[in-house]
Amino acid sequence: MSKRWVGLAALGLALAGCEQDETKPNFEYAPDMVASVPYDSFANNPNTPDGKTLLSPAKGTVPRGHQPLHLVSGPEAAERAGVDLRNPYPSSPEVLARGQTAFLRYCSPCHGPGGVGDGPVTARFPMPPSLLAEHAVGLPDGRIFHIITHGQGLMPAHGSQVAPEDRWKLVHYVRSLQNPARTARKETP
Ligand code: HEC
């Protein structure tokens, strides 16, 4: 083979090498710089001041929508919620309108649009107690907030579907449904 053919063959090989198969990694120089090794969120990290990858919030940080009481489930916490929690939203026509929307969406299938326990689901589901009955009227606001958040007995929890502010607005709406019942009871001797 002449020198000229050898030269052409070498050029051909060099050009063939330029053809890229994007599914395969090419030669990587200093691969750690191309694909860095990440730290898992909860892994220890020697590079941060507190040794954690996910940095802790600054001291005294209060998340938005924070509830002062750590609202866990269970009857004891429900009792405590009734004592410790206050409805942070004053009642207003807008608050009640929002509460009504949420009530018709989330609660009326079981409790019925008026709260007496005659929702369409009750054809196949045990009838819930009336929210206008003395027992429900006597429940403190925080307790109702807890019932909506964590459920109670057969009632499922609504904490993941309904935002905390809407749960408080629901409490106002339940109170507005109960108002006539309260008034009626006050009138009976
Ligand atoms: C799947 C049906 C269902 C849905 C939906 C539902 N509830 Fe209930 N609710 C019940 C049942 C059943 C009970 C009785 C629970 C028990 O066994 O103590 C109850 C109990 C309650 C009580 C306590 C009443 C009392 O006298 O002890 C309140 C307050 C209440 N629900 C409010 C709501 C609100 C507000 C919503 C909407 C966010 C809602 N519920 C959604 C079925 C439901």
Residue 185 has pLDDT above 70, yes or no: no
Q: Other C-beta atoms within 10 Å of 89: how many?
A: 16
pLDDT above 90: percentage of residues in the chain: 59
Residue 14 has pLDDT above 70, yes or no: no
CB 129 near ligand 1, within 6 Å: yes
pLDDT number for residue 65: 64
Residue 188 has pLDDT above 50, yes or no: no
Residue 187 has pLDDT above 60, yes or no: no
Average pLDDT, the chain: 85
pLDDT-based confidence at 189, cuts 50/70/90?
A: very low
Q: Under CATH, which number does the domain 75-187 receive?
A: 1.10.760.10
Q: How far is the CA of 149 from the centre of ligand 1 (A)?
A: 11
Q: How far is the CA of 156 from the centre of ligand 1 (A)?
A: 8
* Reported pTM: 0.70
Pocket test for ligand 1, best of 85, 110, 132 (most atoms within 8 A of CB): 110
pLDDT above 70: percentage of residues in the chain: 81
pLDDT tens per residue across span 30-46: 777 777 778 889 999 99
pLDDT number for residue 67: 62
Distances 94 to 29, 85, 91, 98, 110 between C-alpha atoms, Å: 63, 22, 8, 6, 24
Report yes or no: 78 and 152 within 8 Å, Cβ to Cβ. Answer: yes
Q: Per-residue pLDDT averaged across 49-77, rounded?
A: 82
pLDDT number for residue 152: 95
pLDDT-based confidence at 183, cuts 50/70/90?
A: very low
Pocket test for ligand 1, best of 103, 105, 107, 176 (most atoms within 8 A of CB): 107
pLDDT tens per residue across span 98-148: 999 999 999 999 999 999 999 999 999 889 999 999 999 999 999 999 999
Please give the Cα distance from 161 to 143 (Å, whole number). Answer: 18
Which of helix, strand or coil describes residue 48? Answer: coil
Q: How far is the CA of 184 from the centre of ligand 1 (A)?
A: 23
Ordered alpha helix ranges (H), the chain: 3-18, 31-34, 75-84, 93-102, 108-111, 134-138, 141-150, 164-187
Q: Of all protein residues, whose CA lies closest to atom 36 belonging to ligand 1?
A: 107
φ/ψ of residue 86, rounded to 5 = -120, 145
Residue entry with tokens 């860095």? 36
Pocket test for ligand 1, best of 155, 158, 176, 178 (most atoms within 8 A of CB): 155
CB 171 near ligand 1, within 6 Å: no
